Structure 1
Amino acid sequence: MIVCFGWRQFLLFVTLVFFLTHFLSVMELHQDSNVKDPHQKKQKKFNHLVLGPPAGEGLPNRLQCKGTKALNKIQISTSSNISNGGGGVSFVTIFMVYNSSVDDVKSRDAATIVGRVSYNKVERSMAVLNTFINFIQLAMPESNMVILTDPASRLPLKRNRVTVYSVEGEYSRDKLMLQRIRSYIAFLEKRLEDHSREPTQKITNFIFTDSDISVVDDVAQIFNRYENFHLALTFRNNKQQPLNSGFIAVRGTPDGILRAKVFLEEVLNVYVTKYMKASRMLGDQLALYWVVKSHTSFDEKKFNKAEPFLEEIGGASVLFLPCLVYNWTPPEGAGQFHGMPLNVKVVHFKGSRKRLMLESWNFFKSSSSTEDHDVSVSVSHMLCLVLSSGRTKYDF
């Protein structure tokens, strides 16, 4: 009996060893197959344009493309922006360069090639800023631009109708979004001082934007079309982050500037007290949304429809404009997407799309030279390039 019992133990031990060895071999094979699987999806960025099928095919009121040729045209306004809302328009953006001196333009460390041009980190940042200016001067040639920056920064920028305005503050990467709101507030305070000294001065409306946007139509018309707002924000159908801070319009009257300043001061306070963990990114948008939704009368369901609407928020009349038109962003990766509306006015090249922004301007210049100076056709072709390549992640 003892011998029989020992033999059974031996058989059980052998069986267990065989099972474990087989199991480990199967697991190792499975891991190898995962690594070598050619169909496995990976996050890959490209250093050249990759065109795909343009979204929105066959949908009404959407840009229709065949490759990079537009089959219809976007609706470009022909009216001047000089008299909008009783005055001209100035675009205001915050801009900084990091990691190297702006004088070190000969360095080719981490060079990026766009077309036939090679950029280092500073040069490619400046290229984006200059492209931002180029598009504005194309769509709204009589508008002005103000670049908010650190007093210690020396920007190699000499462009007509462009002013560099220094604001003291904390411009580190981790605090830049926070500093942006503070710089906007400081700029508005200075405008109020100017109005107090010269009450009869000409009214200038302001549009605060990110520097990675392309204005493709006259956005100043909002100051005429919607006469009763103090500031305007852009929204999208997104439950967590329905508001985007990349486009904020402020009416340039003393009352409009004051109410916009007070509104942004409330946003800043919420940002500092509630969202400092998101100070590098998204904190400003979360704070904007908190300020808006904290008013009990506000109906969040209005974000579900891409239609402008007006609301009273903390004593300010706030106009909400759909991102679909005033802050349209090329999509990255998969997901439901319904093309580009024919009345789009602003394209926002967020994140890794900045290469596409530069490529788009280069394509516009080459296209405009062959289209008998029809700007609407050239811009439409350029937007087909954006539409066809917007799903690709670019290394910039």
Structure 2
Amino acid sequence: MSHTPYFNDTVSLVTVFTAYNTSVSAHPNDRSSEMVTVGNISYNKMERSMAVLNTFINFIQVTMPLSNIIILTDPASDFSIKKSRVTLIPVKGEYSREKLMLQRIKSYIAFLDTRLIELSKKQERIHHYIFTDSDIAVVDDLGQIFYNYPKFHVAVTFRNNKGQPLNSGFIAVRGTPDGILRAKVFLQEVLKIYSSKYMKATRMLGDQLALAWLVKSHPSFDAKRFSRPNAFSYDIGRTSVLFLPCAVYNWTPPEGAGQFHGMPLDVKVVHFKGSRKRLMLESWNFYNSSAPAGISNMLCLILMSGRTKYDF
């Protein structure tokens, strides 16, 4: 696996993260407040979140060492990251758990708007952005997306799921002025649909439902394309959207007996949704213990985990 960039442009990984102080409000019978041990370290809920965020950063710095990491956060959030090439950017908004997914889209739009203003003031080299959840592991250089698919403005990931064919945990934006503008307009449309149709799902899934509604509402769009594991492009208004298969760019490990379906050989992003976050930390620990063949061995560990239930 090569760590050499496929191109000369810069790529930044962008995520939204906020710290919740649960020490006062946690109920003693609330399972989420219990300590969880991974390896030799025990974590409370806040420590778990920070451990996942740090692991997210660690994987990127191994597979994309020349990339930058940007964390969009609540100005009132109290945490720090002492790692190189990591920047915290406060964005005003409503970061409560109940509205975090709605706020995430707003934060993305605010960030892109800021970038447009900065680009209008000075000429810069192209700087691409990939917006992701913080519970992912980047296991290969993602710069090739912008090299192999040179015409898209924004890229999203899809799966063969009728109700939720699109996953919002991975959104790539081409860093040209036109790409950033088109991505901003696209996300504004998603936000408009979210706010008008899916406000009952602001804690989770609303953004994915809104994203799917925007795409599938176009009369000429063929939803059957989501059942085929091949990347494809489609124009939503004036935005050129690249659809990438989740199996490669947003793959989720199986969890629990009977859910084991193997792993794609060319996976580039592993998404540790829900309780699988324990596996994310275990995978990073295993990677460190199995160098130099770390990534390959780590993927084997994830592959073998398919019949295990996790407790994060």
TM-score of Structure 1 vs Structure 2, range by shorter chain: over 0.9
**Is 1:189 the equivalent of 2:113?**
yes
Shift of the 153–193 alpha-carbon distance from structure 1 to 2, 3 Å rule, reads same
Matched, 1:388 2:310: no
Map 1:312-331 to 2 at 5 A: 312-331=235-254
Q: Does the CA contact (< 8 Å) of 1:81 and 1:143 recur in 2? A: no
The change in CA–CA distance for 1:335 and 1:262 in structure 2 (over 3 A counts) is: farther
Deviation, 1:339, is: 1.2
Aligned partner (choices 87, 92, 109) of residue 14 of structure 2: 92
- Note the 1:285-364 alignment, pairs <5 A: 285-334=208-257, 337-364=260-287
Counterpart Cα distance in 2 of 1:294 and 1:223? 27
* Counterpart-to-counterpart distance in 1, 2:188 and 2:229: 28
Asked if 1:240 is matched to 2:163, the reply is yes
Q: Is 2:5 the counterpart of 1:80?
A: yes
Equivalent in the alignment of 1:206 = 129
Secondary structure of the residue that 1:219 maps to in structure 2?
coil
Structure 1: 5+ residue runs without aligned partners? 1-75, 102-108
Given that 1:81 and 1:140 are in contact with CA atoms closer than 8 Å, whether structure 2 keeps it comes out as no
Tell me the distance in 2 between the aligned counterparts of 1:218 and 1:194. 27
After superposition, the C-alpha distances for 1:40-71 in whole angstroms (9 at most, x for unaligned) are xxxxxxxxxxxxxxxxxxxxxxxxxxxxxxxx
- The yes-or-no answer on 1:130 pairing with 2:54 is yes
State the structure with more CA Rg: 1
What is the identity, as a one-letter code, of the residue corresponding to 1:331?
A: P
2:29 corresponds to: none
Cα distance in 2 for residues equivalent to 1:390 and 1:95: 28
* Residue 334 (structure 1) shift: 4.9
> Is the 8 Å Cα contact of residues 81 and 142 (structure 1) preserved in structure 2?
no
The answer as to whether partners of 1:91 and 1:207 remain within 8 angstroms in 2 is yes
The answer as to 2:207 corresponding to 1:284 is yes
**1:203-256, Cα deviation, whole Å (9 max, x unpaired):** 110000000000000111110000010000000000000000000000000000
Percent of aligned pairs with the same residue? 69
Which residues of structure 2 form unaligned runs of 5+?
24-32
Shift of the alpha carbon at 1:391?
3.6
How many residues align? The count is: 303
Supply the distance in 2 between the matched residues of 1:271 and 1:314 (Cα, whole angstroms). Answer: 18
Q: Is the 8 A contact 2:3 2:64 kept in 1?
A: no
Amino acid at match of 1:163: T
Which residue pairs with 1:143 in the alignment?
67
Distance 2:233 2:260 in 1: 27
Greater relative contact order (CA < 8 Å, ≥ 6 in sequence): 1
Displacement of 1:314:
1.6
- Whether 1:121 aligns to 2:45 is yes
Preserved contact between residue 82 and residue 89 of structure 1 (Cα < 8 Å): no
How many angstroms apart in 1 are the aligned matches of 2:226 and 2:295?
29
What is the DSSP-based 3-state SS (H/G/I as helix, E as strand, rest coil) of the residue aligned with 2:188? helix
RMSD: 1.3
Query: Structure 2 counterpart of 1:80, which letter?
Result: P
Query: What is the one-letter code of the residue matched to 2:296?
Result: S
Q: Distance in 2 between matches of 1:393 and 1:99?
A: 27
Whole-angstrom CA distance in 1 between matches of 2:237 and 2:102: 21
Which residue is 1:170 aligned to?
94
2: distance between equivalents of 1:310 and 1:335? Answer: 34
Contact 1:177–1:280 at 8 Å: present in 2 too?
A: yes
Q: 2:76 aligns with which of 149, 152, 155?
A: 152
- Supply the distance in 2 between the matched residues of 1:78 and 1:99 (Cα, whole angstroms): 37
Partner amino acid, structure 2, of 1:128: V
Q: 1:228 aligns with which of 139, 144, 151?
A: 151
Note the alpha carbon deviations across 1:318-369, whole angstroms, 9 max, x for none. 000000000000122355653111111000000000000000000010011x
Paired AA for residue 14 in structure 2: V
Paired residue for 1:379?
A: 295
- The DSSP-based 3-state class of the residue aligned with 2:143 is helix
